[in-house]
Amino acid sequence: MSLKLYLLRHGETEYSRTGGFCGELDPELTPEGMLMAKAFGETYRSLPWTAVYVSPMKRTIATAKPLCDAIAMDMQLRDGLKEIRYGKWEGQTLEFVKQHYEEDYVRWLTEPAWNPPTEGETGVQIASRAMPVISEIEAKCPTGNVLIVSHKATIRIILCSLLGIDVGRYRDRITALAASVSIVKFDVHGPLLEVLGDRYHLDAELRNLPGT
Protein backbone atom coordinates (compact mmCIF):
# COMPACT_ATOMS: atom_id res chain seq x y z
CA MET A 1 0.00 0.00 0.00
CA SER A 2 1.25 3.47 -0.89
CA LEU A 3 1.05 6.66 1.11
CA LYS A 4 -1.97 8.78 0.18
CA LEU A 5 -2.29 12.40 1.27
CA TYR A 6 -5.79 13.86 1.58
CA LEU A 7 -5.39 17.66 1.55
CA LEU A 8 -8.57 19.17 2.97
CA ARG A 9 -9.22 22.89 3.06
CA HIS A 10 -11.16 24.10 6.09
CA GLY A 11 -14.89 24.74 5.89
CA GLU A 12 -16.51 28.08 5.24
CA THR A 13 -15.64 31.16 7.28
CA GLU A 14 -16.92 34.70 6.97
CA TYR A 15 -13.83 35.55 4.94
CA SER A 16 -14.02 32.61 2.54
CA ARG A 17 -17.62 33.59 1.86
CA THR A 18 -16.85 37.25 1.16
CA GLY A 19 -13.38 36.88 -0.37
CA GLY A 20 -11.65 39.04 2.25
CA PHE A 21 -7.97 38.46 3.02
CA CYS A 22 -7.61 36.09 5.97
CA GLY A 23 -4.32 34.43 6.86
CA GLU A 24 -3.20 35.05 10.43
CA LEU A 25 -6.70 36.09 11.46
CA ASP A 26 -8.38 33.26 13.34
CA PRO A 27 -12.14 33.25 12.62
CA GLU A 28 -14.47 30.44 13.59
CA LEU A 29 -16.27 28.38 10.98
CA THR A 30 -19.72 29.63 10.01
CA PRO A 31 -22.67 27.32 10.76
CA GLU A 32 -22.42 26.20 7.13
CA GLY A 33 -18.71 25.60 7.62
CA MET A 34 -19.48 23.34 10.57
CA LEU A 35 -21.88 21.38 8.36
CA MET A 36 -19.12 21.00 5.79
CA ALA A 37 -16.77 19.61 8.43
CA LYS A 38 -19.41 17.19 9.66
CA ALA A 39 -20.14 16.04 6.10
CA PHE A 40 -16.47 15.30 5.47
CA GLY A 41 -16.22 13.32 8.70
CA GLU A 42 -19.31 11.28 7.91
CA THR A 43 -18.18 10.50 4.37
CA TYR A 44 -14.57 9.61 5.13
CA ARG A 45 -14.77 8.00 8.58
CA SER A 46 -14.77 4.50 7.08
CA LEU A 47 -11.30 4.88 5.55
CA PRO A 48 -8.43 3.33 7.55
CA TRP A 49 -6.60 6.49 8.62
CA THR A 50 -2.95 6.47 9.66
CA ALA A 51 -2.60 10.06 10.91
CA VAL A 52 -4.19 13.52 10.85
CA TYR A 53 -2.03 16.65 10.54
CA VAL A 54 -3.69 20.02 11.08
CA SER A 55 -2.87 23.72 10.97
CA PRO A 56 -3.26 25.10 14.54
CA MET A 57 -6.01 27.59 13.65
CA LYS A 58 -9.59 27.50 14.90
CA ARG A 59 -11.04 26.98 11.45
CA THR A 60 -8.80 24.00 10.60
CA ILE A 61 -9.09 22.35 14.02
CA ALA A 62 -12.89 22.63 13.85
CA THR A 63 -12.85 21.10 10.35
CA ALA A 64 -10.75 18.12 11.45
CA LYS A 65 -12.64 17.50 14.70
CA PRO A 66 -15.69 15.56 13.40
CA LEU A 67 -13.49 12.99 11.67
CA CYS A 68 -11.01 12.77 14.55
CA ASP A 69 -13.88 12.27 17.01
CA ALA A 70 -15.44 9.60 14.80
CA ILE A 71 -12.23 7.57 14.47
CA ALA A 72 -10.83 8.38 17.94
CA MET A 73 -7.58 9.79 16.53
CA ASP A 74 -5.59 12.73 17.86
CA MET A 75 -4.79 15.52 15.43
CA GLN A 76 -1.15 16.56 15.15
CA LEU A 77 -0.81 20.35 14.93
CA ARG A 78 1.91 21.84 12.74
CA ASP A 79 2.66 25.55 12.31
CA GLY A 80 4.04 24.79 8.86
CA LEU A 81 0.48 24.17 7.65
CA LYS A 82 -0.76 27.67 8.53
CA GLU A 83 -2.16 30.00 5.88
CA ILE A 84 -0.17 32.68 4.07
CA ARG A 85 0.50 35.77 6.19
CA TYR A 86 -1.18 38.67 4.42
CA GLY A 87 0.52 41.40 6.45
CA LYS A 88 -1.15 44.78 5.97
CA TRP A 89 -3.89 43.14 3.89
CA GLU A 90 -5.28 41.04 6.74
CA GLY A 91 -9.01 41.53 7.16
CA GLN A 92 -9.29 43.84 4.16
CA THR A 93 -11.41 43.50 1.05
CA LEU A 94 -9.93 43.05 -2.41
CA GLU A 95 -11.19 46.52 -3.37
CA PHE A 96 -9.41 48.10 -0.38
CA VAL A 97 -6.13 46.37 -1.20
CA LYS A 98 -6.30 47.40 -4.86
CA GLN A 99 -6.89 51.02 -3.82
CA HIS A 100 -4.32 51.30 -1.01
CA TYR A 101 -1.59 48.82 -2.01
CA GLU A 102 -1.87 48.83 -5.79
CA GLU A 103 1.83 48.37 -6.64
CA ASP A 104 2.33 45.54 -4.13
CA TYR A 105 -0.90 43.90 -5.30
CA VAL A 106 0.15 43.97 -8.97
CA ARG A 107 3.59 42.54 -8.10
CA TRP A 108 1.95 39.81 -6.01
CA LEU A 109 -0.41 38.90 -8.87
CA THR A 110 2.48 38.78 -11.32
CA GLU A 111 4.89 36.66 -9.25
CA PRO A 112 3.58 35.58 -5.82
CA ALA A 113 6.46 33.13 -5.34
CA TRP A 114 8.81 36.03 -4.62
CA ASN A 115 6.55 39.07 -4.11
CA PRO A 116 4.54 39.07 -0.85
CA PRO A 117 1.43 40.93 0.18
CA THR A 118 2.53 44.12 1.91
CA GLU A 119 4.63 42.98 4.92
CA GLY A 120 3.33 39.45 4.33
CA GLU A 121 4.72 36.13 3.15
CA THR A 122 5.92 34.90 -0.24
CA GLY A 123 4.96 31.62 -1.85
CA VAL A 124 8.56 30.42 -1.48
CA GLN A 125 8.44 31.12 2.26
CA ILE A 126 5.22 29.12 2.56
CA ALA A 127 6.74 26.21 0.66
CA SER A 128 9.84 26.32 2.88
CA ARG A 129 7.73 25.78 6.02
CA ALA A 130 5.01 23.51 4.62
CA MET A 131 7.12 20.99 2.71
CA PRO A 132 9.11 19.86 5.80
CA VAL A 133 5.75 18.73 7.21
CA ILE A 134 5.22 16.64 4.08
CA SER A 135 8.72 15.19 4.49
CA GLU A 136 7.93 14.35 8.11
CA ILE A 137 4.76 12.53 7.03
CA GLU A 138 6.64 10.60 4.36
CA ALA A 139 9.21 9.49 6.94
CA LYS A 140 6.72 8.55 9.65
CA CYS A 141 3.92 7.18 7.45
CA PRO A 142 5.41 5.46 4.39
CA THR A 143 2.04 3.79 3.75
CA GLY A 144 -1.60 4.49 4.57
CA ASN A 145 -4.04 7.38 4.39
CA VAL A 146 -2.97 10.68 5.98
CA LEU A 147 -5.27 13.68 6.27
CA ILE A 148 -3.85 17.21 6.11
CA VAL A 149 -6.25 20.00 7.06
CA SER A 150 -4.90 23.34 5.93
CA HIS A 151 -5.72 26.49 3.99
CA LYS A 152 -6.30 27.67 0.45
CA ALA A 153 -2.90 29.11 -0.48
CA THR A 154 -0.93 26.59 1.56
CA ILE A 155 -2.66 23.57 -0.01
CA ARG A 156 -2.16 24.96 -3.52
CA ILE A 157 1.53 25.59 -2.83
CA ILE A 158 1.99 22.07 -1.41
CA LEU A 159 0.35 20.62 -4.52
CA CYS A 160 2.53 22.70 -6.84
CA SER A 161 5.65 21.64 -4.95
CA LEU A 162 4.69 17.95 -5.08
CA LEU A 163 3.68 17.99 -8.74
CA GLY A 164 6.57 20.01 -10.17
CA ILE A 165 4.48 23.11 -10.92
CA ASP A 166 6.13 26.52 -10.55
CA VAL A 167 5.13 27.80 -7.09
CA GLY A 168 4.64 31.23 -8.63
CA ARG A 169 1.68 29.83 -10.57
CA TYR A 170 -0.17 28.40 -7.57
CA ARG A 171 -2.99 30.92 -7.92
CA ASP A 172 -3.37 30.20 -11.66
CA ARG A 173 -3.08 26.40 -11.81
CA ILE A 174 -4.70 24.93 -8.67
CA THR A 175 -8.15 25.38 -7.13
CA ALA A 176 -9.09 24.77 -3.48
CA LEU A 177 -12.61 25.86 -2.54
CA ALA A 178 -13.85 25.68 1.04
CA ALA A 179 -14.05 22.07 2.34
CA SER A 180 -12.60 20.65 -0.88
CA VAL A 181 -10.22 17.69 -0.75
CA SER A 182 -7.38 16.80 -3.10
CA ILE A 183 -5.69 13.41 -3.05
CA VAL A 184 -2.05 12.70 -3.88
CA LYS A 185 -0.71 9.14 -4.04
CA PHE A 186 3.00 8.55 -3.59
CA ASP A 187 3.59 6.09 -6.39
CA VAL A 188 6.71 4.41 -7.77
CA HIS A 189 7.28 7.43 -10.04
CA GLY A 190 6.62 10.00 -7.32
CA PRO A 191 3.55 12.01 -6.29
CA LEU A 192 0.50 11.34 -8.47
CA LEU A 193 -2.53 13.65 -8.32
CA GLU A 194 -5.60 11.41 -8.15
CA VAL A 195 -8.26 13.96 -7.15
CA LEU A 196 -8.31 17.76 -7.25
CA GLY A 197 -10.72 19.90 -5.26
CA ASP A 198 -13.47 17.30 -4.73
CA ARG A 199 -16.55 18.48 -2.80
CA TYR A 200 -19.03 15.70 -3.40
CA HIS A 201 -19.09 14.86 0.31
CA LEU A 202 -21.14 18.09 0.53
CA ASP A 203 -24.79 18.25 -0.39
CA ALA A 204 -25.85 20.45 -3.30
CA GLU A 205 -26.85 23.36 -1.07
CA LEU A 206 -23.42 23.52 0.59
CA ARG A 207 -21.57 23.02 -2.71
CA ASN A 208 -23.44 25.92 -4.30
CA LEU A 209 -22.83 28.50 -1.59
CA PRO A 210 -21.00 31.60 -2.84
CA GLY A 211 -17.41 31.94 -1.80
CA THR A 212 -13.75 31.59 -2.68
**Is 41 in a helix, a strand, or coil?**
helix
Q: What is the pLDDT of residue 1?
A: 82
Mean pLDDT by 10 residues, the chain (212 residues): 96 96 98 98 98 98 98 98 98 98 98 98 98 98 98 98 97 97 96 98 97 92
Give tens-digit pLDDT for 120-132: 999 999 999 999 9
- As a whole number of Å, the end-to-end CA separation of the chain is 35
CA-wise closest residue to 28 among 19, 43, 16:
16
pTM, full prediction? 0.98
pLDDT in tens, 158-178: 999 999 999 999 999 999 999
- Going by C-alpha positions, the residue among 73, 23, 79 that lies closest to residue 51 is 73
β-pairing, 49-54 with 76-77?
Answer: parallel
Residue 183: predicted pLDDT: 98
Cα 124 from Cα 104, distance rounded (Å): 17
How far is residue 99's CA from residue 136's CA, in Å, rounded to a whole number? 41
Within 10 A of 2 (CB to CB), how many other CB atoms are there? 12
Q: Are strands 190-198 and 181-187 parallel, antiparallel or unpaired?
A: antiparallel
Three-state DSSP state, 188: coil
Among left, alpha and beta (phi > 0; psi -120 to 50; other), residue 19 is left
